[in-house]
Amino acid sequence: MRIKPSCNFLLGLCSLLALGLLYYWSWRTNSGSWGHNSLYDSQGFLRKLDGSLPLELIYKYGNLSKGACKPGFAAAKMTAIYPKFTKLAPMFLDPNYKRFSKINHYLPPFGVKSQEKLIDILLAATQSYGLGEELDSMKCKTCIIVGNGGILTGKSLGQRIDEFDVVVRLNQAPVKGFEKDVGSKTTMRIAYPEGAIQKMDSYESESLFVLSAFKALDFRWLSYMVFKQKLRSTEGFWKSVAMYIPRDPSSMRILNPYFILEAAFKLIGLPYNNGQMGRGNIPTLGTVAITMALHNCDEVAVAGFGYNMNTPDAPLHYYDQHIRMSAIKESWTHNISKEKEFLLKLVKAGVIQDWTNGICGAGC
């Protein structure tokens, strides 16, 4: 007799839940069949992509001289093919990062949860959170993300790369000795501990060192780099890591983890796994950097991206003639083919310019 009320209560709760689920389900399927489905793909991108400009953009940019930086171009084009896009997402963490609520509820690599104390200490030490006065005050910035692909070799793009306002390089990609093909300017080098340059004389003389943290331990590693302390153990890293970064704290930054979050779950559509790191749900650093640029640059170009599996003997990286394309292995963390679908949309729609045509290959 006593059990009955709670039983009724449970029953009520159950049917409520079932009803809720039913509504949710019908809403999902309906929003699919109410015309959205035919226009937009499952990630929310326009299905029909071409490089044409929306009318309002033709008007807006019509009077600019050829080659001039087009203010707001990348974000406007992105919004035209992906209406859910909202530009606001700062490049680096700054002391107000907790107000950027999107990243508060996720553990690394998708957010800052559990690392707040350490991040506060790091930000208090670096004291700088932007690109520097000159770049921060520009009304229109062009950015290029230089990937590490062997496809850069022999294309002599160096001079054109250096003309960008912001040149982003990744991990240990060298400049010295490769200037003709990859340029000599480095505004920032985005890296994780295992990917950062380990040979001190390979660093360019000036650039921002930007940590893209893929695990909690990476923040701890950065604290050793910022405070110039000796890293005693490399336990927890998946290979050897840099022990020293030849930069003042004021030239170090933390990349906003939101770009990993957005790239993984919204733009590429990798498995959500309760918002935690899991099989095949971590975007590669290159795609994270491109996502950052979409939010923070007026025009975005890339070079040195894409793997061409039809040429297994071609060098994988521009700086190493011995590692071949065929060395790419099925990876536990990344999903290269799904990621490529996303990058292809950006190139096809003209959101980003691919200077080495490695993303499309013969496919555009």
Ligand X SMILES: *[C@@H]1O[C@H](CO)[C@@H](O)[C@H](O)[C@H]1NC(C)=O
Question: Which stretch in 57-65, 115-123, 131-139, 171-179 sits in contact with ligand X by CB under 6 A?
Answer: 57-65
Q: Which residue, 43 or 223, has its beta carbon nearer to ligand X?
A: 43
Q: Name which position in 72, 280, 350, 361 contacts ligand X (CB under 6 A).
A: 280
Of 225, 201, 228, 199, which is closest to residue 211 (Cα–Cα)?
225
Minimum CB–partner distance for residue 64 and ligand X (Å): 9
Q: Smallest distance from the beta carbon of 66 to ligand X, in angstroms?
A: 15
Does residue number 335 form part of the binding site for ligand X (CB under 6 A)? Answer: yes
Cα 268 from Cα 256, distance rounded (Å): 18
Nearer to ligand X, 254 or 268 (CB): 268
Q: Shortest gap between Cβ of 363 and ligand X (angstroms)?
A: 18
For residues 113 and 338, which CB has a smaller minimum distance to ligand X in the complex? 338
- Considering only 6, 33, 63, 310, the residue that binds ligand X (CB under 6 A) is 63
In the bound state with ligand X, the residue whose beta carbon lies nearer, of 115 and 284, is: 284
Beta bridge partners of 299: 142
SS (H, E, C) 72-120: CHHHHHHHHHCCCCCCCCCCECCCCHHHCHHHCCCCCCCCCCCCHHHHH
Kindly state whether residue 65 participates in binding ligand X, applying the rule CB under 6 A.
no
* Closest separation in Å from C-beta 333 to ligand X: 8
* Smallest separation, CB 41 to ligand X (Å): 13
Q: Which of 338, 348, 357, 361 binds ligand X (CB under 6 A)?
A: 338
Pick from 93, 44, 88, 128: nearest CA to 294: 88
Do 202 and 178 touch, CB atoms closer than 8 A? no
Residue 262's Cβ-side half-sphere holds a number of Cα atoms within 13 Å equal to 23
As a whole number of angstroms, the distance between CA 29 and CA 162 comes to: 49
- Interface with ligand X, residue 279, by CB under 6 A: yes
Q: Does 58 bind ligand X (CB under 6 A)?
A: no
Residue among 23, 27, 59, 227 that touches ligand X (CB under 6 A): 59
Question: What residues does 46 pair with on adjacent strands?
Answer: 40
Tokens found for residue 220: 């701890």
287 binds ligand X (CB under 6 A): no
CB nearer ligand X, residue 183 or residue 269: 269
Find the shortest distance in angstroms from Cβ 276 to ligand X.
15
Q: State the DSSP H helix or E strand holding residue 336, giving kind and residue range, or none if neither.
A: helix 336-348
Tell me if residue 320 falls in helix, strand or coil: strand
Question: Which one of 97-105, 117-125, 225-233, 332-340 is the stretch in contact with ligand X (CB under 6 A)?
Answer: 332-340
- Report how many helices (DSSP H) and strands (DSSP E) the chain contains, helices first: 12, 9
Site string (292-331) toward ligand X, x via CB under 6 A: ----------------------------------------
The site that binds ligand X (CB under 6 A) totals a number of residues, namely 8
If binding is defined by CB under 6 A, does position 272 make contact with ligand X?
A: no
d(CA 134, CA 109): 30
Could you tell me how many residues make up the chain?
A: 364
Binder of ligand X out of 43, 53, 57, 60 (CB under 6 A): 60
Q: Is the peptide bond before 109 cis (omega within 30 degrees of 0)?
A: yes
Phi-psi region of 273 (alpha: psi -120 to 50; beta: other; left: phi over 0): left
List of residues contacting ligand X (CB under 6 A): 59-60, 63, 279-280, 335, 337-338
